[in-house]
Structure 1
Amino acid sequence: MIGAILYALVGLYTLMVIVRLIIEMIQSFAKHFDPPSWFMVAAEVFFVTTDPPIRFLRRYIPPLPLGGVALDVSVIVLFIGLMILSALIVTIFGI
């Protein structure tokens, strides 16, 4: 029971990280993107909930320079960490 709840919470948080990544890509690639206010309110939920661990990782993991662009690997590290946490929950609780 507890394992299933933890697994579901980690899965939900992983989806929130993916949605945040998609929103950041839209903002990055579409320079003239002018979203409606409801979109910004919805996006704020994803940014507020995923920002603390990403900011923590960005403090210790610098962006990877790729020519004229810098790749932020902190989101990738967080995603991998969440996948490992999911696997640990499955292993420990036998889901």
Structure 2
Amino acid sequence: MLFSYGPLQNLYTAARNLIKDADAGNAIDLVDLKVAIGELEMMVFERLEHAPLVAQARKEGGEQVQVDPNPLVAVAEDGVWVEAWVYVPKEG
């Protein structure tokens, strides 16, 4: 597995399978690719829907936590998890 986030891995796998089928001269099935693209669109929709909470994460994270411009978000029951970078200083 190349990607830890399911929708990205699904898109990669679907694209690789399309290339493999095309190279082998087989009929191309776009169902998996359509599903993978739908998952990515949902990921973008969730990020846009929860943009105020992503902004809050940026504000409250301080210097130790950095949030990318387009982070992954995972919807939870009472909020969202926001993908972020956490700075860990070297010891000694």
TM over 0.5: no
- When you count strand as a share of all residues, which structure comes out higher? 2
- When you count helix as a share of all residues, which structure comes out higher? 1
TM-score w.r.t. the length of structure 1 is 0.34
